[in-house]
Amino acid sequence: MPAETHMQGGPLGRDEILKLVTDRLAEILEVDPTSINESDSFREDLDADSLALIELIEAIEEELSDRSIDFRIDDEDLEDLKSVRDAVDYVNLRLG
C-alpha cells in the first residue's frame, strides 16, 4: 500500500523533513536550529553523543507516528545515520 494512504495531513517534503530533524536536534542539543547544517556530522560537527541521537530518533518517530502509521527507524539502521543528511534521506526514503 503506498505511503500516501497512510499519511495524515499529506506527505512531507524533503525540506519539511530537514526542518523537523534540525528543530528536534536543536532542542536536544540546546542550540539555535540555524546553526545546524544538513552536511553536519552528528558526532564530529555537533558533538551529539549516543543519548542525544537516541532522543532524536525517538522525537522523529513520535512526530511522524501522527502522520504515518507505525513509522519506525530500525535499530540496525542507526549506525548508518552519521549526519543530518543521512537522517533526512533515511526518513524521506521511508516515507516515500
Nearest Cα to Cα of residue 71 among 58, 86, 87, 85: 58
Count helices and strands in the chain by DSSP H and E runs: 3, 0
Given 23, 32, 45, 49, the catalytic residue: 49
Query: What residues have CB less than 8 Å from 11, skipping those under 6 apart?
Result: 3, 4, 95, 96
Distance CA 71, CA 12 (A): 13
Among this protein's residues, is 49 annotated catalytic? yes
Question: Among all residues, which ones are annotated catalytic?
Answer: 49
